[in-house]
A and B are shown apart, each in its own frame.
Chain A
């Protein structure tokens, strides 16, 4: 924990005045922002951290948007301030008051935009440009999943690892999905058991990553009997508590003895209890004992004596998962021995020792689970710890992203839309290919659509109906039925937008259009619209800049940003390597904008954020966490983001 710097003598005043302001203007308002820099970093980092924990993605977009928004606010206020200086002869005091009033107004306008207009855009306009996807567990679903994962991993790990991870994770997810018959259920299951199902191996090339049949228990045998590997069916029990040498009803570990004989009797009794227990295990056909705790030496001894194998000190989560998959209860350690019966005995096809990197583990190949799948483990290889941890973190992030995807699918209703010009533009592979080199004219630009409730002609409530309807040739978007007083997800789950800044470009386009429709009296509101719209462009702009440094340089540099906005679809095609439709979950984009535009609730907890308990290390993305741990990472955003703090120039805070 790093010591926090003092806030300076004038900081309380800023804090008092900051309650009603968004964080952006709070920074601008500060007369001595340097002293607050660290605490501001913590606040921003905390925002990013929260966002990443929820979505598994979007940290860099968040920083870029925030940075651009801050820049935009500052420029706007400075322009207005300069105007005041040239047209007014007012004194300094008046100008300060005017500046503060302007700041407050801009802050409230931005909040209003984020609360109302963005809401409307995400609800009414964006979905018209999204493509509903078929999330089945067949080959079609696999293709969609693979494209989504490819898009995700391309920004998280280095190029070589990205390709390997995409195929590997896609196959891994689909293996479970085929048994569970649901992608959403699979993602939930994998997310809950990510650490148990994923094993990191060092010192091997990335492409040696593979699936391993069975569950990898991250411990070696404490006792291994040679006959175990020859068995075609292995029966096992799981212990989650230590076998105490002396039984005690209330787990009181203090024992009283009246004399030496009593002392000896107790010890002998304990030994006999363990002996009887092991004999009972043999009697019910158990071959192996798995324990999440360290067991007493005499237990090991009797297990060896009776040719049973033992794996102890397993992580608790692995024990729980094992019980869940094998559909058994953990063995009670302090009970009547005769109570231990087949309810506590699981069965597996094999149990063997495997060498994964330097670690010797046990691989337990379970029988088909009650859910209908054969559990398998994901073995991730890389030359060093940092890279393999990065792969693992990227896998976790991908699962989080996928979880968001399926979050509301089961709750929402589905509305079919017609793929017509009146319904907005739905880009597909063929159209994007055709558009490369032939920018569309202004006349074919998507028209603003009002929220069209008349289209809700068919309401479907389940994935199965969605799938059957899509097979029939209809395309769907998902839409929730708005009810007063009910919290709705504005963006419908299951829909996709092309990657490469599409979401930001669309939002920019609609914000600008809304701004032009406002009355001339609402000038300040128009400014807020334009500031936000301009900030949104930073994402596609940065993507373009990064891309210009590589092979697409010639094609992309010819296109000016303004043209890009006008002909966004054609630019997207260029951005997407001309003929590859990379998909993007637009609810993530929405999450980014919402978080950046409405940080006011975070501000109310500013004081607590300044407390010494705040962990500044928690506020980094997966890649950031990786850099903390080990070595180097590839980044496609050339920002000076230190792992735990955003640098001064990144935020462009006036000094």
Chain B
């Protein structure tokens, strides 16, 4: 028991000290000569923490699987499951699933008072959701203004990926993230269309005269003059002495080039390599050639241009395979040269350029932007959000205490056990603030608040919903001698702004995964580990 507690204690310390906007940054070095990473994001921390005993690995894997699925809430899973295990170890095996289901049912019911219906036409709510994520990672090193700018940019990029009425059936579009090191955050921007990296000087493109709309050929196969590929099979060729098979292939490539020129193509983009001679020939004919773009760019490029990838150079491409672009604009961001491809059609593809001065912050910013984008996508599936800043946790804790005390026989859960469950939730809420803070809950919305000073003036709950006034009273977060009332008012029709909001889908999944992980650990009687025979 003590060994398990000790093993979990280390995880708890790491998770607690990294959790939320006040979390401390961790420097991570893999010990194999890799770079040192500074982060407090679960996407970076969880793989780095994969050392230690079996119980810790089990917990970490659970949190990691959740992060892979929902992007957010990895540290919540870790923290909550550790607290549940530590709080319930001495009580023996009990079903915490029942309590969790109680919470989930409440969160999904209409009477829930810690969630809000997200109106997709209300930008303020979407901004709140994005802002909560943007401000939760101190390693991004963003000032308040920069965080606000980034919040707007991420939301702007997301909204550009939502197809309009005419293309509603196509599904969400794509945001391509481009990171540029060395510029300030203020240089970050959202660009309509696709920004592709190019090794050629942008001045070259600036001098090109391209028509208003021009044809684009997107080639997915290699034009380097390779001989035929055989799929899974390895093919070998026998050629007579003196025969130059490369020349034979090259002449076919030139013929393909002639077809491209004849079709009136002005831009040829190749996923792989283009033979330098072919490239020269095409450029001489006034065709812009971009190659080595890689697989990642192909999907947004095809969507943007409406082209179909050309997979063979042996036959003449049909006219329907070519796509159309409106403009080809050279862009220089920092010391990097890009080419911005834009179309006149309404296509949900855009580029989010992220700039930062340090590598670590840029990486963290990239992670945060990806998380925010994913959470916004999740809102489209379930248009709800939960109050952030620990308010949902403290609200649920009070709800559990109230329910178990009121309906003990119905839920058949021991009071002590329910107290532990509620305490674990409250501890997660408390983890958002450093030690030394006094944590309070209001009587109206049962939301969490924390303060260090003795005055209650100007006090508001962590999510921003409850603001101190004459009608609002506060009491200490945690168990009380008398049962706390849980019949507060319904949420106001107009919510105050700004609010801290968490993703509903991600948080529900995190809650379920954490409880399930903890229940497995609590049920475990014996840990068996493979040991090598000496």
**Interface positions of A (Cβ within 8 A of B):** 2-3, 5, 38, 158-160, 202-206, 226, 242-245, 253-260, 263-264, 267-268, 270-272, 275, 293-302, 304-305, 357-358, 382-387, 550, 616, 624, 627-628, 630-636, 638, 641-645
Contact = CB atoms under 8 A, between A and B. Distances in A.
Going nearest first, the 6 A-B pairs with the smallest beta carbon separation are A301-B311, A203-B65, A271-B314, A631-B58, A203-B69, A205-B512
Given A203-B68, A301-B309, 11 more contacts: A160-B516, A203-B69, A242-B230, A243-B231, A253-B234, A271-B312, A296-B231, A302-B311, A384-B61, A385-B61, A627-B530
B232 interface: yes
Contacts of B232: 242, 293-294
A635 B66 CA distance: 26
B112 interface: no
Nearest to B524: A632
B479 to A, nearest CB: 27
Contact of B516 (A3, A245, A383, A645): A383
27 contacts: A159-B95, A159-B519, A160-B516, A203-B65, A203-B513, A205-B516, A245-B235, A254-B238, A263-B243, A264-B252, A272-B315, A294-B231, A298-B314, A299-B231, A301-B309, A304-B311, A305-B318, A383-B62, A386-B61, A628-B530, A631-B55, A632-B58, A632-B521, A634-B525, A635-B528, A642-B531, A645-B533
Contact of A270 (B61, B68, B228, B244): B228
A93 B325 CA distance: 101
B371 to A, nearest CB: 15
A633 B525 CA distance: 8
Given A383-B513, A385-B61, A297 B312 contact: yes
A630 B56 CA distance: 12
Contacts of A226: 170
A38 B231 contact: no
Nearest to A385: B61
Given A264-B252, A295-B231, A383-B517, A255 B523 contact: no
A205 B509 contact: yes
A242 B234 CA distance: 11
A299 B229 CA distance: 11
Given A267-B314, A296-B229, A383-B65, A642 B530 contact: yes
Contacts of B533: 2-3, 5, 38, 616, 644-645
Given A264-B248, A297-B221, A633-B524, A385 B65 contact: yes
Nearest to A388: B65
B240 interface: yes
A302 B308 CA distance: 11
B110 interface: no
A273 to B, nearest CB: 11
B374 to A, nearest CB: 12
Nearest to A260: B248
Contacts of B236: 253-255
Given A271-B314, A296-B231, A298-B314, A384 B65 contact: yes
B97 interface: yes
A267 B245 CA distance: 11
B247 interface: yes
Interface residues of B, number: 67
A304 B55 contact: no
A272 B248 CA distance: 18
A257 B314 contact: no
A202 B512 CA distance: 13
Contacts of A358: 68-69
B58 A386 contact: yes
A519 to B, nearest CB: 46
B268 to A, nearest CB: 16
B380 interface: no
Given A264-B251, A267-B252, A244 B519 contact: no
A160 B97 contact: yes
Nearest to A357: B69
Interface string B70-90: 100000000000000000000
B230 A244 contact: yes
A158 B238 contact: no
A632 B527 contact: yes
Contact of B308 (A293, A296, A305, A357): A305
A263 to B, nearest CB: 5
A264 B235 CA distance: 16
A204 B513 CA distance: 7
A293 B230 CA distance: 11
Contact of B233 (A38, A253, A385): A253
B516 A633 contact: no
Contacts of A645: 531, 533
Interface in B473-530: 509, 512-513, 516-517, 519-521, 523-530
A630 B233 contact: no
A436 to B, nearest CB: 22
Q: Which of A254, A297, A383, A628 has the most B CB atoms < 10 Å from its CB?
A: A383
Contacts of B240: 257-259
B204 interface: no
B5 interface: no
A255 B235 contact: yes
Contacts of B243: 257, 259-260, 263
Q: Which of A204, A275, A616, A635 has the most B CB atoms < 10 Å from its CB?
A: A204
B509 A255 contact: no
B277 interface: no
A297 B231 CA distance: 7
B66 A203 contact: yes
A226 B163 CA distance: 15
Nearest to B65: A203
Contacts of A627: 528-530
Contacts of B528: 624, 627, 632-633, 635, 641-643
A374 to B, nearest CB: 27
Nearest to B235: A253
B27 interface: no
Contacts of B523: 158-159, 634
B85 to A, nearest CB: 12
A616 B310 CA distance: 52
Contacts of B70: 203
Contact of A384 (B58, B170, B231): B58
A3 B517 CA distance: 36
A297 B520 contact: no
Q: Which of B247, B252, B311 has the most A CB atoms < 10 Å from its CB?
A: B311
Contacts of A632: 54-55, 58, 520-521, 524, 527-528
Contacts of B69: 202-204, 357-358
Nearest to B242: A259
A2 B534 CA distance: 8
B220 interface: yes
Contacts of A357: 65, 68-69
B532 interface: yes
A630 B312 contact: no
A340 to B, nearest CB: 19
B228 A254 contact: no
Contacts of A271: 312, 314-315
A573 B187 CA distance: 75
Contacts of A643: 528-531
B243 to A, nearest CB: 6
B321 interface: yes
Nearest to B221: A297
B81 to A, nearest CB: 9
B239 interface: yes
A267 B237 contact: no
Given A275-B315, A302-B312, A642-B528, A260 B237 contact: no
B311 A253 contact: no
A299 B526 CA distance: 54
B370 interface: no
A308 to B, nearest CB: 12
B402 interface: no
B300 to A, nearest CB: 16
A299 B321 CA distance: 15
